[in-house]
């Protein structure tokens, strides 16, 4: 996502993440940073950059661990950890954040709480400056500008391996309303982790095989067992649930199984075709059946191997519905109605 920070506005590129809250980016001087090819923000060059005292209510309310005793300049320090072992550490600060508009001049928001990261490790490189948290918590961009956007946002993710030279679209406010033919919606369930957009997955179906999640055999809560996470590539399932889903998929595909060269995925096939003939997997959320095509469930590893993008995990007792599964859907979050909507869409044309 392209956005600007500071006065004068300085362009940055953030990775949008519905599974986290903090808006952070790498800042000069950067003591320990990943390789960023785009220019890095220098807070000393911005007239509107403002640090926060580590004893202030803003710092204490928003940062879990505040230790002023080891802090020579008494500024609010944060440390943010991610599930893939990425971290960002630096100063929680206030800045002006500017977004482009569909139908007018750019729109600026003042006193946005941001993380100015001086020690960062992110599992990507290139021009990405940091992460834009779009989660449910108070530090997220959606929460901080919520009153201006009617607490609504949506995105349409262009398939990663699409030949179209197109950007995915992210909208806030009235432009983010998802409606019309094919739209299905599921309630957001307030789980024990406020950051996440949790909803209830009732079953998967593959052909005639229905894998219900009603009972606790998969170690899942009955309500709020799935989080919709744009920051996760794969869809992660508890081991027992994954095993049943993999078996159902594998029983239908009549190709030779091969190991994954990247050692990340469990179910891979050798194929000479660019398009793999795979079954539609339907994710039956509460009130919303979402039909997943091959673009949502398999990716090419090379020109001869395709792999299943659902993977088993043992670390947390819920389903993580990743961004590959969300490709070619208009996905809308309405925090006023507490619902998530899915509409099948060719995101290269949206």
Q: Is 129 helix (H, G, I), strand (E, B) or coil?
A: coil
Positive or negative, the Cα torsion across 242, 294, 262, 129? negative
R_g over Cα of the chain? 21
DSSP category for residue 158: P
User: Does the annotation mark 125 as catalytic?
Assistant: no
- What are the φ and ψ backbone dihedral angles of 85, each rounded to 5 degrees? 75, 5
Catalytic one of 229, 315, 334, 346: 229
Q: Is 111 helix (H, G, I), strand (E, B) or coil?
A: strand
136-157 core/surface letters (b: 16 or more CB in 10 A; e: else): bbebbbbbbbbeebebbbbbbb
User: Does the annotation mark 17 as catalytic?
Assistant: yes
Catalytic one of 17, 125, 260, 302: 17
Q: Is 62 helix (H, G, I), strand (E, B) or coil?
A: helix
DSSP-based helix, strand, coil % in the chain, nearest 5: 10, 40, 50
Give the separation between CA 114 and CA 145, rounded to whole angstroms: 13
Give the separation between CA 307 and CA 95, rounded to whole angstroms: 43
Nearby residues of 72 by Cβ (< 8 Å), 6 or more positions away: none
Chain Cα centroid distance, residue 58: 26
Give the separation between CA 329 and CA 312, rounded to whole angstroms: 24
CB 276 within 8 A of CB 306: yes
Q: Is residue 98 packed enough to be buried (19+ CB in 10 Å), middle (13-18) or exposed (0-12)?
A: buried
Nearby residues of 243 by Cβ (< 8 Å), 6 or more positions away: 312
Provide the token pair at 130. 């940091």
Residues tagged active-site? 17, 229
């Amino acid at each position: 996502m392209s956005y600007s920070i500071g006065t004068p506005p300085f362009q940055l590129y953030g990775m949008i993440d519905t599974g986290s809250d903090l808006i952070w980016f790498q800042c000069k001087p950067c003591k320990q940073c990943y390789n960023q090819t785009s220019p890095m923000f220098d807070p000393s060059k911005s007239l509107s950059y403002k640090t926060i005292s580590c004893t202030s209510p803003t710092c204490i309310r928003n940062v879990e661990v505040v230790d002023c005793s080891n802090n020579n300049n008494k500024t609010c320090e944060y440390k943010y950890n991610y599930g893939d072992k990425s971290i960002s550490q630096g100063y929680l600060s206030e800045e002006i954040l500017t977004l482009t508009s569909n139908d007018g001049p750019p729109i600026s928001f003042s006193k946005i709480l941001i993380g100015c990261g001086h020690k960062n490790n992110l599992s990507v490189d290139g021009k990405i400056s940091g992460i834009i948290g779009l989660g449910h918590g108070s530090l997220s961009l959606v929460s901080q500008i919520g009153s201006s956007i009617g607490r609504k946002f949506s995105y349409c993710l262009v398939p990663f391996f699409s030949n179209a030279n197109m950007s995915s679209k992210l909208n806030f406010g009235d432009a983010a309303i998802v409606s019309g033919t094919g739209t299905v919606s599921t309630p957001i369930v307030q789980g024990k982790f406020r950051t996440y957009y949790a909803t209830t997955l009732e079953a998967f179906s593959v052909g005639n095989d229905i894998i219900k999640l009603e009972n606790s055999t998969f170690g899942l809560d009955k309500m709020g067992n799935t989080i919709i996470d744009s920051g996760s590539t794969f869809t992660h399932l508890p081991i027992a649930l994954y095993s049943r889903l993999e078996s159902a998929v594998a029983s239908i595909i009549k190709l030779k199984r091969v190991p994954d060269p990247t050692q990340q995925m469990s179910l891979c096939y050798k194929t000479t075709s660019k398009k793999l003939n795979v079954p539609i997997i339907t994710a039956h959320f509460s009130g919303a059946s979402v039909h997943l095509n091959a673009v949502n469930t398999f990716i090419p590893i090379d020109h001869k191997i395709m792999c299943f993008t659902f993977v088993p995990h043992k670390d947390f007792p819920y389903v993580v519905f990743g961004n590959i599964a969300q490709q070619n859907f208009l996905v809308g979050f309405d925090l006023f109605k507490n619902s998530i909507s899915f509409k099948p869409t060719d995101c290269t044309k949206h």
